[in-house]
Amino acid sequence: MPENAENGATAADCLFCKIVAGEIPSNLVYEGERVIAFRDINPQAPMHVLVVPRAHAPNLAATAAADPGLVGELATVAAEVAGEEGYSDYNVVANTGSEAGQTIFHTHLHVLGGRKLTSLTNLPG
Ligand code: AMP
Ligand code: ZN
């Protein structure tokens, strides 16, 4: 449960909740019942898509705690989107906590393709 302000973001003031609700535009590449995916506004690789559960949770672990199956759906959508974009090989990143570069406290997977992540210092975030 929330331990500090950054983890206490409510759906009402959450950017990705607003994208899920269609209140803020995004470049959608996948729309499912429980998961959407859209292009990152500041791409760090030739393919940089964010895979996002519709249900608000502050990070991947919180989503896993609330609904383990939903984490599986995120992974499946990441693979589907990458495949549709022409990438059989890709990276998945889930920044967790501000010290790890997380800036949006609504669970999301970064799905990156077309750029070799040769070190842990050039990950997005
Ligand atoms: P993180 O730093 O892991 O929390 O990732 C947040 C990501 O959201 C960053 O890569 C941002 O570029 C991206 N981002 C922020 N605002 C938007 C937006 N309106 N549409 C798409 N991506 C966004
Ligand atoms: Zn949210």
pLDDT tens for 24-66 read 999 999 999 999 999 999 999 999 999 999 999 999 999 999 9
- Residues 74-99: tens digit of each pLDDT: 999 999 999 999 999 999 999 999 99
Highest mean pLDDT among 1-15, 54-68, 108-122: 54-68
> Ligand 1, closest atom to CA 125?
2
User: Which is the catalytic residue, given 48, 56, 106, 108?
Assistant: 108
Return d(Cα 48, Cα 45) in angstroms, integer: 6
Higher pLDDT, 2 or 124: 124
23 lines ligand 1 (CB under 6 A): no
Question: How far is C-alpha 102 from the geometric centre of its chain's CA atoms?
Answer: 10
- H helix or E strand, kind and range, residue 50: strand 47-53
Question: pTM for the full model?
Answer: 0.90
> Ligand 1, closest atom to CA 101?
2
Looking at CATH, the fold of the domain delimited by 11-113 is given as HIT family, subunit A (3.30.428)
Ligand nearest 108 Cα, by number? 1
**DSSP string covering 5-37, please?**
GGGG--GGG-HHHHHHTTSS---EEEE-SSEEE
Show the CA angle centred on residue 7, arms to residues 98 and 102, nearest 5°. Answer: 25
- The question of whether 56 is a catalytic residue gets the answer no
Read off φ and ψ for residue 73, nearest 5 degrees.
Answer: -65, -40
Give, using CA atoms, the residue closest to atom 1 of ligand 1. Answer: 102
- Write down the pLDDT at residue 117: 81
